[in-house]
Amino acid sequence: MNLEHIYRDLLQKRQERQEYNGTIKGTCQEYCPYFEYIERNLRGDINKYEKNILVKKYNRSSAGKVKPFPEDVRPINVLVSVLEYLLQFCDFTLESYKFLENRTRAIRLDITIQELECDRTIYVLEKICRLLIVYSYALYDNKEFEIHLNLEQCKKILGTLIDLYNKRNKYNEEFIGYHYLISFDEKFIVYNTFYKSKNILFSAIKCAYLQNNLYIFFKLVRSTDFLSYCILHTYFDKVRLKGIEIYSKCFVEKIDANFINKMLYLTVTELKSLCKKMNIQLINDSTILVDFKNKDLFENDNILIKERKSIIRTSKLIYYGDIDYYIKDYIVKMWIIKNFTKTYKPIINAKIMRKKVKFNIFSDPHETQKDIFDVLVKIYCKISASIFVKDIKKRVIIFEKKKKLAREICFYILDLYIKNRLKSPKGSVNVKTLVQNTLCIVTDDTIFSAIFVNTVKKSVLMNYKPDFLQYKNVNISTLLKYKVSIFALNKKLLVDTNTKYYMLNKMVDTPQNMGKNIDKILELINISRYIIKNKLNLLLENKSRLKQISILTCLIHNGRNPDVKEDWINKIDKKQKLENIEVYYEEGIKMY
């Protein structure tokens, strides 16, 4: 009996069967269901990666298609085995991507059909997600690769994972972080748990992205783990095009290309491609100059040239995740436990709190930060060597920038040291110097404001211990103490409030509307930082021309300084004196 007869018999039997009702429990123990195996062999639909074993193919659902039967669906134990088998074909070519994307999508379809929610389901989805993330970087410079479709599938998988974590009461820092990064352009995404140090870094990156703080964005991106960098790499084109648009407004002269390369994290080839796309002229003298005199900017159809560094051993990251982050985190924790566990206890013990706290590396009052930094480099090398020697399986990634890690450890320990030194005269820790207020609710005397205050007191906003103030009793100095200010006022005061308090992180609306926007208030709290007030001259004092330009650019585009003019950048070049006005910027945001 040939394949065609077998196929016809199977097809006839399937057509005579009734559709399966309810949730299907898969019974197929093969990588490819028998019916599909016969059908694809008959049509010659076999990929070059399937010479030995056929794997179930994903087909888009169409009208009139018969619902799958249990023998067409693979249970979770088979799905785990299939995924392990597929990962051996991960060679980061476009052809392998098309094959793997289709077959892993079929795996996800089987999971959806069976409504699987177990730990092994999470394991499978996490690996598929990492696979797509790495491919988004590996094929970034391939013209035929449709990155937006890849990211769309990543978002769907991450959304499913977040739901599964919530149902199973789990917290996975890695994938919640990926979901946060991939959703920069989406509004009002609220995370119930978002407190780990890694995700605090992601919040800073998002702030820089939304504020068009280009230099800080690229600087922070370079400090992320590899998989997070792969996601953030997809924003580079958009950020760079916006950067060129900003600089064209700020500059009216020829600027050294090295400055643009540094600010936008570009190679020379990428800069030439970017300028060509934005109709900007490059002048080749002894040094390459970017001419911003032409203000007639437009984005033409030229394709941006994209360069990336070669990637090695990324298959390990698909299996184990962001191990470069975890190894660094482990080293930091080991070092802190080893050196601070004993000396930190007396601070908590009230009986001996007046005793001096001694830190071995800080014992010399004349010891400089550079000396401490050098000590930490040696400590890092020693600890990392002991870790990798003890467990050879962990020797997956060796940090290329040991000094950079040591610098991070140094800053962390210095911060801890300073906080422990902040004591009142009696010897107890001065908590007021370490704690800042988060939320302020400003209302008027109307009944609607009283109702809104009552709504807030019954909501999750009370976790932030908000202060309730009257509009007539507040001013700029009072509200700058808070991270976020919420103004629930009558319509007559809204315009004046927006005009007067332009520098604050705020929401301004009527009490009736504000009561419906608790989720938006939570989102604003999550993405906001405290606002710092300073004098412009103090910020620019003793700074190089490059840093002064970077600071002015950030102040102009953070939306909090309408008095800072774009033509002031030209005054810096001419060494003219600037007005010493008050300026506002976010705490923790480096502007150069």
pLDDT at 119 over 80: yes
Q: Is residue 299 part of a domain?
A: no
Which one, of 332, 304, 494, lies nearest residue 407 by Cα? 332
Same domain, 16 and 146: yes
Q: What pLDDT score was predicted for residue 360?
A: 43
Residues 6+ apart with CB under 8 A from 552: 250, 540, 564, 568, 569, 572
Same domain, 154 and 104: yes
DSSP-derived letter for residue 308 is -
Residues 6+ apart with CB under 8 A from 52: none
Identify any residues that bridge with 423 across adjacent strands, giving them in sequence order.
429
Chain Cα centroid distance, residue 124: 23
Same domain, 498 and 417: no
Query: Which has the higher per-residue pLDDT, 1 or 307?
Result: 307
Pairing between strand 437-443 and 482-488? Answer: parallel
Which one, of 518, 478, 485, lies nearest residue 504 by Cα? 485
pLDDT bin (cut points 50, 70, 90) of residue 416 is: low
Q: Is residue 205 part of a domain?
A: no
Q: At 491, which CATH number? A: 3.40.50.11220
Percentage of the chain modeled with pLDDT above 90: 23
pLDDT at 198 over 90: no
Same domain, 451 and 416: no
Same domain, 117 and 136: yes
Q: Is residue 252 part of a domain?
A: no
Same domain, 491 and 555: no
The pTM (predicted TM-score) of the whole model is: 0.58
Same domain, 581 and 485: no
Q: Is residue 234 part of a domain?
A: no
Q: Is residue 243 part of a domain?
A: no
Q: What pLDDT score was predicted for residue 368?
A: 45
How many structural domains is the chain composed of? 4
pLDDT at 121 over 70: yes
The domain in which residue 509 lies consists of 437-527
The number of C-alpha atoms within 13 Å of 13 and in the hemisphere containing its C-beta is 8
The region of weakest confidence among 106-120, 296-310, 406-420 is: 406-420
d(CA 194, CA 526): 9
Q: At 43, which CATH number? A: 1.25.40
372-384 pLDDT per residue, tens? 555 555 555 555 5
Chain Cα centroid distance, residue 201: 8
Q: What pLDDT score was predicted for residue 161?
A: 93
Q: Is residue 318 part of a domain?
A: no
Q: What is the mean pLDDT of residues 5-13?
A: 85
488-527 pLDDT per residue, tens? 999 889 999 999 999 999 999 999 888 888 888 888 888 8
pLDDT at 56 over 70: yes
d(CA 204, CA 220): 8
Q: What pLDDT score was predicted for residue 135?
A: 92
Q: Is residue 80 part of a domain?
A: yes
Evaluate whether 150 touches 132 at the Cβ level (below 8 Å): yes
Q: Is residue 221 part of a domain?
A: no
Q: What pLDDT score was predicted for residue 23?
A: 82
How are the residues of the chain apportioned to helix, strand and coil, as percentages rounded to the nearest 5? 55, 10, 35
